[in-house]
Amino acid sequence: MTFLDYALRGRNAGWRYVIGFVLGPVFGLALGAILLIPATLNHLLPDDIETQLTQVKNPLIFFPTTGVIFGLFLLGFGLSVWVVHRKSPLDLLGAWRWSAFALGAGLWLAYLGLCTAIDFALAPKGFRFSASPPSLNLALMVIGALAVQTFAEEYVFRGYLTQGLLLGLRNPFAASLVCGLAFGALHIPNGGPQAASAVVFGIGLSLIAIRTGSLAFGSGLHLINNAYGAIVVVSEQDVFRGSPGFLYQNTPHLNWWDLVLGLGGLALTAYVVSRGNPRIPQDPPLQA
């Protein structure tokens, strides 16, 4: 089955996607309120919780809370899909295969290692080993939280949004472009380089999802991308700065070089995986 086949399930009129994108966050916030009210009443939240969520001051707060927040929005969008589109929330995953997940993770881990080696060759003084590397339990906690965060983003952008755009635009490249721009807009608060990276990242992962008919490959790639930057090589210019890593990198003069290097690898990956333009029927039957 193609990704379009999964998108065609349920009721998919355009107005339903508009309502779905409103109800998804609303349901997520409602579920969050159920947790937040008891936590507030029992003084379980730190006083500077807002600051703790924008930068890694305490990884034991930042990562679990990030995982919970994204998990709530994931549940919210899943509920929205079921209520608005009358379809299984699992339809957004496509033909999920764990082998494809592992392949995406493995290939991207190897490429990130190559990028680090190139950066080290260019600026060896910009690297230092951590005096207190993360323990196994802490590393697993970070990876677990990031697994929820990255999967939620894949579910919403490469699942819900890409399927909707594919139905509306009838063109995989146009759908991927719009999805990439939306994903980049979400990352504008993280700075120009990361927003630009997110645009190309979003385009590439959308193409991969459409071509493979699944979120699996891109989800593995996305998880490794974030986990690598949070616990393997932590950049002082990255959103995860302050995270407990094994190696720290402080090379601001290589920021744009790293952007080009990373995006080049992703573009090549997307091209190899998505070559052979997937066939899209001209007039897929939509259900109101």
pLDDT for the residue numbered 285: 52
Distance, CA of 47 to CA of 64 (rounded, Å): 17
pLDDT for the residue numbered 254: 85
**12 pLDDT more than 80:** yes
Condensed to tens digits (0 to 9), the pLDDT of residues 198-253 reads 898 899 999 999 999 999 999 999 999 999 999 999 998 888 888 999 999 999 88
CA 22-214-110 angle, 5° bins = 110
**51 pLDDT more than 80:** no
CA 275-278-284 angle, 5° bins = 165
Judge contact between 241 and 234, C-beta under 8 A: yes
> What length is written for the chain?
288
Cα radius of gyration (the chain): 19
pLDDT for the residue numbered 278: 47
Judge contact between 242 and 56, C-beta under 8 A: yes
Distance, CA of 88 to CA of 95 (rounded, Å): 13
